[in-house]
Amino acid sequence: MGWKEAAEPVLTRMPAVRRPEGHVPFKDKLMWSAGILMLYFFLTNITLLGVQTGQGGDLFGQFRAILAGSQGSVLQVGIGPIVTASIVLQLLGGANLLGLDTDDPRDQVLYQGLQKLLVVVMVVLTALPMVFAGGFLPAQRSLQLGGLSLGQTQIQLLIFAQIFVGGILILYMDEVVSKWGVGSGISLFIIAGVSQRLVTGLVQPATGGFFFDWYRILTGQVEVGSLISGAGLQTLLINEGHIIPLLTTVLIFGIVVYAESVRVEIPLSHARVKGARGRFPVKLIYASVLPMILVRAVQANVQFMGQILDSQWAGMPGWLGVYNSAGQAVSGFFYYVSPIYSRQDWMWWTGQVTQEWWQVMIRIGIDVTFMVVGGAIFAIFWVETTDMGPEATAKQIQNSGMQIPGFRQNVGVIEKVMERYIPQVTIIGGALVGLLAVTANMLGTIGSVSGTGLLLAVSITYKLYEEIAEEQLMEMHPMMRQMFGE
């Protein structure tokens, strides 16, 4: 008996959201997506019962914009377990260790059940150290709950149960959007988190907001200083002026929108209908920027492990990592592999960096290499596991009755033509997105949104716009649904 036969009774019984039996009207899809989005914001504002307020630190830190959720809320773990489970499945599938054929309906059910089971395991593995180790979510010493008096251990179990429920809720909220709404829940939650930070960074009515800081500059409440000496330039460009973060934010928006429009178009013609022609676009960012979530999730898990070791291992060697009072690595292995979060992490000449310049350069080099190489690798995995590779694309074109003019109508011939473009464009696009993410992090953005988070939000919004336009087209012309594979 293989593992599939042994695990089938469990995997096939994993709860799942029922698929719609027919076409879901566009208005209904918007209502489902809006409803889940409202539920998401509602859950992020429900604080965990039993946690000491104002204590502990966010283990996800600067990754929070990407992994969604909210520190100290029911959605404490965000989409982290879902992303981590996807990484594990992609690695196992890429190494062909699962033996699952995604074209087989039975194997599809097993794959989806396995993914849900892995998410549950990851929720447990993520929540346990948050609650029981390191004081990241310190529990109150005692708590009166109704007529019960709970001790600290019981309160910790209560906090763990709340986080576990939140992790399961976000899993099925994502599935509801994927089946009944527009786009996916993960994409929706990322857009929500990043947009919230951007708006806050612009209009926050306190120190730190772009418009409020410029009001203070124009009214003389902030001393700009001499532009010749450089102090005034630093104030305007970096500090209260936020000019560089604003330019970086606008530049990232422009680059991503432009890159989404850059494509290689392969001409197609219908084999039986004379004059029916089309084009298959191979975009520069062919795998989208979603693989960046996987790359950053790997880095987040490494930093997560380092913080857990620091809190639990009193004699951790200095070469492995030394942490400050804020829980940030300042030297050792975990410092060098930590991503660049902001300008303060690498501008050693400003005096805000305690490390030597060569240490900072090593960290930058590792971060750039990891993002560029990791972006290319995960882009390849993404393309192969989402049926966007040359072989799957050739089958889709063949089944639609189309062919490439000047070539025989054969799957193998179409696949060879696709192999000239898709693998190369996938690698280049993945590496480019990784480089853009690091650059945006180094220069800073409005609202302290990470470069990766901003890239994800812009690209996801662009694709969501395309999907909405496609849905509206199919709503007006029902016969188009067959052409889009519905």
Give DSSP secondary structure letters for 120-188: HHHHHHHHHHHHHSTTSSPBPS-EEETTEEE-HHHHHHHHHHHHHHHHHHHHHHHHHHHHHSSS-HHHH
The pLDDT score that the predictor gives to residue 120 is: 94
CB 140 within 8 A of CB 52: yes
Q: Are strands 143-145 and 329-331 parallel, antiparallel or unpaired?
A: unpaired
Task: Assign 228 to helix, strand or coil.
Answer: coil
Residue 210 maps to a domain:
no
Per-residue pLDDT of the chain (486 residues; tens, 9 = 90+): 577 788 888 888 888 899 888 878 888 999 999 999 999 999 999 999 988 876 666 667 667 777 888 888 999 998 889 988 887 887 777 667 777 776 778 888 888 899 899 999 999 998 988 888 766 788 888 888 777 888 888 999 999 999 999 999 999 999 999 999 988 888 889 888 888 888 888 888 766 788 888 888 888 777 777 666 667 777 777 677 778 888 888 888 888 888 888 888 888 887 666 666 778 888 888 887 778 888 888 888 888 888 888 878 877 888 888 888 777 888 999 999 998 887 788 888 777 788 889 999 999 999 999 999 999 998 888 888 777 888 888 888 888 777 888 777 788 888 898 898 999 999 999 999 899 888 888 888 887 777 778 888 888 888 888 888 877 776 665 554 554 444
Residue 39 maps to a domain:
yes
Residue 317 maps to a domain:
yes
Tokens of 336: 């060098």
The pLDDT score that the predictor gives to residue 143 is: 84
Q: How many CB atoms lie within 10 A of CB 116?
A: 20
In angstroms, the CA 146 to CA 144 distance is: 6
Q: Which of 135, 161, 182 is the last residue of a domain?
A: 182
Which of 284, 442, 423 is CA-nearest to residue 367?
442
CA atoms within 13 A on the CB side of 92: 15
In angstroms, the CA 118 to CA 91 distance is: 13
Cβ neighbours of residue 437 closer than 8 Å, sequence gap 6 or more: 292, 371, 375, 450, 451, 452, 455
Domain count, the chain: 2
The pLDDT score that the predictor gives to residue 122 is: 93
Tokens 């929540």 belong to which residue? Answer: 127
Residue 435 maps to a domain:
yes
In angstroms, the CA 386 to CA 392 distance is: 9
Q: Which of 146, 161, 182 is the last residue of a domain?
A: 182
Which of 329, 311, 328, 356 is CA-nearest to residue 320?
329
Which of 228, 258, 223 is CA-nearest to residue 241?
223
In angstroms, the CA 436 to CA 129 distance is: 33
CB 428 within 8 A of CB 284: yes
Residues 396 and 251 in one domain: yes
Residues 163 and 269 in one domain: no
Residue 308 maps to a domain:
yes
The pLDDT score that the predictor gives to residue 484 is: 47
Residue 223 maps to a domain:
no
Residue 257 maps to a domain:
yes
Question: In terms of residue numbers, what domain contains 165?
Answer: 26-182
The pLDDT score that the predictor gives to residue 394 is: 87
Residues 251 and 379 in one domain: yes
As a dihedral over the C-alpha atoms of residue 298, residue 288, residue 418, residue 384, rounded to 10 degrees, the angle is 40
Q: How many CB atoms lie within 10 A of CB 272?
A: 7
Tokens of 115: 């993914």
Question: What are the percentages of helix, strand and coil residues in the chain, rounded to 5?
Answer: 60, 5, 35
Which of 356, 314, 374, 362 is CA-nearest to residue 338?
362
Look up the pTM and report it.
0.79
Residues 348 and 433 in one domain: yes
CB 167 within 8 A of CB 123: yes
Residues 260 and 390 in one domain: yes
The pLDDT score that the predictor gives to residue 57 is: 64
Q: How many CB atoms lie within 10 A of CB 76?
A: 29
Q: Which of 139, 159, 182 is the last residue of a domain?
A: 182
Tokens 């042994």 belong to which residue? Answer: 6
Cross-strand pairs, 277? 269
Residues 177 and 288 in one domain: no
Residues 245 and 158 in one domain: no
Q: What is the CATH number of the domain that holds 249?
A: 1.10.3370.10
In angstroms, the CA 102 to CA 403 distance is: 25
Q: Identify the burial level of 209 via C-beta atoms within 10 angstroms of its C-beta, where 0-12 means exposed, 13-18 middle and 19 or more buried.
A: buried
Residues 161 and 298 in one domain: no
| Furthest CA-CA distance within the chain | 80
In angstroms, the CA 138 to CA 54 distance is: 10
The pLDDT score that the predictor gives to residue 116 is: 92
Which of 136, 177, 179 is CA-nearest to residue 160?
136
Q: What type of residue sits at position 61?
A: G
Tokens of 416: 């060879």
Task: Assign 222 to helix, strand or coil.
Answer: coil
Tokens 């994800």 belong to which residue? Answer: 456
Tokens 């972006």 belong to which residue? Answer: 375
Residue 221 maps to a domain:
no
